[in-house]
Each structure stands twice: as C-alpha cells, then as structure tokens.
Amino acid sequence: MNSAQHAGLSQTRVTLALATLFLGTFVLGTAELGVIGMLNLIADDTRVSISTAGTLVTAYALGLAIGGPILAALTIRVSRRLLLASTLAAYLAGTLLAVLATDFWPFIAARALTGSLHGLFVGVAFTVAVSIVAPEHAGRAMSVVLGGVAVSAALGVPLGTLIGQALGWRGAFSTVIVLGVVCLAATVAFIPPVPHPGVAGIGTQARHALAPRVLAVLGLGFLLFASQYAAFTYIAPFLEQVTGVSGGLISVFLFAYGAATALGVLAGGRFADRAASRTLIVGNAVLVVAAGMLYLVGAVPIVVAALLIVWGGFGLGVVPSLQYRVVSLAGPGRDLAATLPASAFNAGIAVGALAGGWAVASYRVSSVFLVSLTIGLVALAVAWATRSLKPPPLPDRPQAPIEQAPIEQTPILQARSLPIIMKRESHQHRDLSRP
C-alpha cells in the first residue's frame, strides 16, 4: 500500500492522475516541437523567411529555460493543483493568441509566454506526481511526466505535421488546444489537492535549489544534452551522406530513435528508484560507446539503426535519474529545483547544436559524433565525481510530534511533509552508498 492510498487515494485515482500528467506534458511537448515540421507553412502565412520563422523555436526555448524557474519562484506558495490547472489554462490561452495572430511578432511573444508556462507546468507536474506515490516510486512517477514529452517527440510531432499539411498550421494548433481542453478537464477531475510545499520562502528555496551540489548535477545534465544534440541536430544529413539512406527511410530511422526515447524514459524511472547515481554513470558510458561506434560504422545501415535505438533509449533513459538527483539534492528547495533541469537541458541543446555546426562546417558531417564523444567523456567524469553528493540535513521544524507521526496516520496535507522527505532522502542515501 503506498502513501497515496494511506492519504485516502485509491490506486485508480493515482493512475488517472498520473495519466492526466502524462497527457499534459504530451500536449505541451507537441505544441513546442510541432512548429519544427510546419516552419515553411508558418513562414508563407506570416510573410517571413524560414530563418525568421525558426526564431519561434528559440523564443519558446528561452521562455522555458528562463521564464519557467522565475514563474515557479513567484508561485511557490500556491496550491499545486490550482497552479497546475491555472497554468494549463493560461497556456491554452497563449496558444489561442498564436492561432489568432495576424502578424509574426505577436506570434513570437505568444511563443515566449507559452514556453515560460511550459517550464512551470512541468515543474509542478513533477511535484504532484511525486506527492501521490510512495517515496520508493518517485523515479517512476517522474518518468511518467517525462514520458509525455518523449512520446510527443516520437508521435505527436509527426502527427502534428500531417495535420498541419492537411488543415494548415492554425488547424494543427487548434487541434492541440482541443486536446488541451480535455487535459484541463481531467486535471480538475482527477488531480487530488496538493498543498504548496510550505517549508520555505522564495529566498530559502533559491538558496537550496542553487546550492553547489545541485548545480553540479545540473551541469551534468547540460553536458549530457550538449553531447547528444551536437550529433542529433545533424542526424538527417549524417544518414543521407554517410549511411546512404534518403527520403522515407530517414523518417523510419528517426521514428525508431523516437520510439526508443519514449521507452527509455519510462524504463529509466525504475532505474532512478533503484540507483540514480549508478544509472547516470552507466547510461553515460553507453552513450559514449554508441557515439564512437556511430562514427566508426556509420556507413552500415543496419548497425546504425540498432545504435540509434540504443542511443535514443539511454539518451532519455537517464533523464528521470537526473531529475531525481536534482530534486533530492535540493532538499527544501525541491519545488523550485524541479523546474531547473529543463533549463539545463535546453542550454545544452543550444550549445551542442553550435558545436556540431562548427564540426560540420570545419570538417565533415560524421565528425559530429567525435564532438559528441568528447563532450560525453567530460560528462562521464562529472557523473562519477557527483556520485557521492548527498541531500542537505533535514531542517529543524516545529510541531515535531505531528511531523514524526508515521505516514500511515497523516492526511494528504502532510503527504508532502517531513516523513516523505525523510523516506525519500533515506532511499537516496542508500542509492548513493552503493559503489
């Protein structure tokens, strides 16, 4: 029996709540990435160049990386369910503004706004997911939230592109809004009340969320994504020029990669619960080997296909462990810290893409995997160096008799309080104590 059931939640209610969070991140992920497949349609309709239309991706990423943590800090005292629903409602309103925009620059502003709300939503979704499951299942709950993003990349984006070609880009975004309204209704119906953390103000949250131990793991996340996207950004020309596949076959290779990322995220949650630090080291080592093999045998299609599946599965399979480590190491600042990995990942994507672009311009397209391997080796060293980092000591708090009561005797108001923190951090200590 898990903590959610002790707090009066049935397993069915927990499952419906997690499914709602999965749907929410799927909707937002599709809205974020769907633009990539419709840039030409948007450019023609708004009378701008393709390169200018590409700034829609940049605006969204900057909003997510910068605006998400800021909004999280400003709303730290708001009930998590209320914040989740209101954030999703505001996101849908911002997307509607983009659909109704007759000029390009209001579209840019709407994308920056929705990117910020996306960052906030994901952070709150992590908090809610962890709050309704037992501490030993925290990693799996996080992987459900991340799974929505992974599935949106694997399925949502291609489907969105098809809808865009049939109904126009406004029709595609309108479809996302309709699906978002369904998710909003499910949020109101199935997400249980989850209070704000109540353990610290903005200053204390920031101090713990930005502590050196947390920044070190965020740096690892930055390096991991820089390593992957130094090569993945240029995977299509690599497949065409080195592997010798073209046309529809490239889509097949990319679909295999995308499906592997979705499965990797969902499986990665279990490994995060068992040994997050070890998962980061092993996963990173596999990515380094895969990058090296892709460089050496990139001309053999069947081997490349198999390596892309491994690369995709481990590439996002380590993300639940990264999220787990960041939240655990932040201690009282965990609610703000939950929004920071997305910022580190997006920064890593941007830098990795630049590094890969330099390699393509200076050498040949296959050299992107040498860049990926080099950054990956640095990331592996950081993963090893951070393996022994531990959460901060538990703060002294009043009303000890209430907080020390067994979790079985506490209502949901205390389900996010000290007993769960103690159990979760104790579990992480056991993880960190392993070789």
Q: Are 132 and 195 in contact (CB under 8 A)?
A: no
For the chain, the average pLDDT equals 82
- Position of tokens 């392993």? 434
Closest CA to 114 of 25, 186, 45, 28: 28
Confidence (pLDDT) at 285? 96
Two tokens at 114?
């929705």
| Number of CB atoms found within 10 A of residue 295's CB | 19
Q: Which residues of 200-219 are buried (b: 16+ CB within 10 A; e: fewer)?
A: beeebbbebbbbebbbbbbb
87-112 pLDDT, tens digit per residue, is 999 999 999 999 998 889 999 999 99
Question: pLDDT value at position 199?
Answer: 54
What gap in Å lies between CA 25 and CA 19, rounded to an integer? 10
Instruction: With H, G, I as helix, E, B as strand and everything else as coil, classify residue 13.
Output: helix
CA dihedral 170, 171, 176, 179 (to 10 degrees): 150
Q: pLDDT per residue over 3-39, tens digit each?
A: 444 456 788 889 999 999 999 999 999 898 888 778 7
Question: pLDDT band at 394, cuts 50/70/90?
Answer: low
C-alpha to C-alpha distances, 226 to 133, 229, 368, nearest whole angstrom: 32, 5, 11
pLDDT band for position 332 (cuts 50, 70, 90):
confident
Among 7-11, 139-143, 148-152, 225-229, whose mean pLDDT is lowest? Answer: 7-11
% of the chain exceeding 90 in pLDDT = 36
Return d(Cα 211, Cα 346) in angstroms, integer.
20
Structure token digits, residue 361 = 């311009």
Residue 70: how many other CB atoms lie within 10 Å: 14
State what percent of residues in the chain have pLDDT above 70: 87
pLDDT of residue 408: 34
| pLDDT of residue 2 exceeding 60 | no
- Domains of the chain, earliest start first: 1-196 (1.20.1250.20), 199-389 (1.20.1250.20)
Closest alpha carbon to 153 in 357, 316, 376: 316
**Any idea which residue has 């538990």 for tokens?**
394
Q: How far apart are CA 265 and CA 300, in angstroms?
A: 27
Which pLDDT value is given to residue 155? 77
**Cα end-to-end span (Å), the chain:** 30
Query: Which range is least confidently modeled, 179-193, 275-289, 349-363?
Result: 349-363
Q: What is the CA radius of gyration of the chain?
A: 21
**Whether 305 contacts 256, CB under 8 Å:** yes
What is the spatial distance between Cα 213 and Cα 218, in angstroms, rounded to a whole number? Answer: 9
CB 125 within 8 A of CB 29: no
Positive or negative, the CA dihedral 34, 39, 41, 42 is positive
Tokens of 301: 């299609």
Angle between helical axes of 212-232 and 340-362 (0-180°, round to 10): 40
Q: What's the pLDDT score for residue 422?
A: 37
Q: Which residue has the tokens 């809205």?
A: 31
Q: Would the pLDDT of 433 be above 60?
A: no
**pLDDT for res 201:** 66
Strands (E), 216-359: none
Count of positions (residues) in the chain: 435
Least confident of 218-222, 314-318, 391-395: 391-395
Residue 175, pLDDT above cutoff 80: yes
In angstroms, rounded to a whole number, what is the distance separating the alpha carbons of residues 254 and 263?
Answer: 14
User: What pLDDT score was predicted for residue 282?
Assistant: 95
Separation CA 323–CA 315 (nearest Å): 14
Contact 275, 435 (CB under 8 A): no
Quick: pLDDT tens for 247-277.
Answer: 778 878 888 888 898 888 888 888 888 888 9
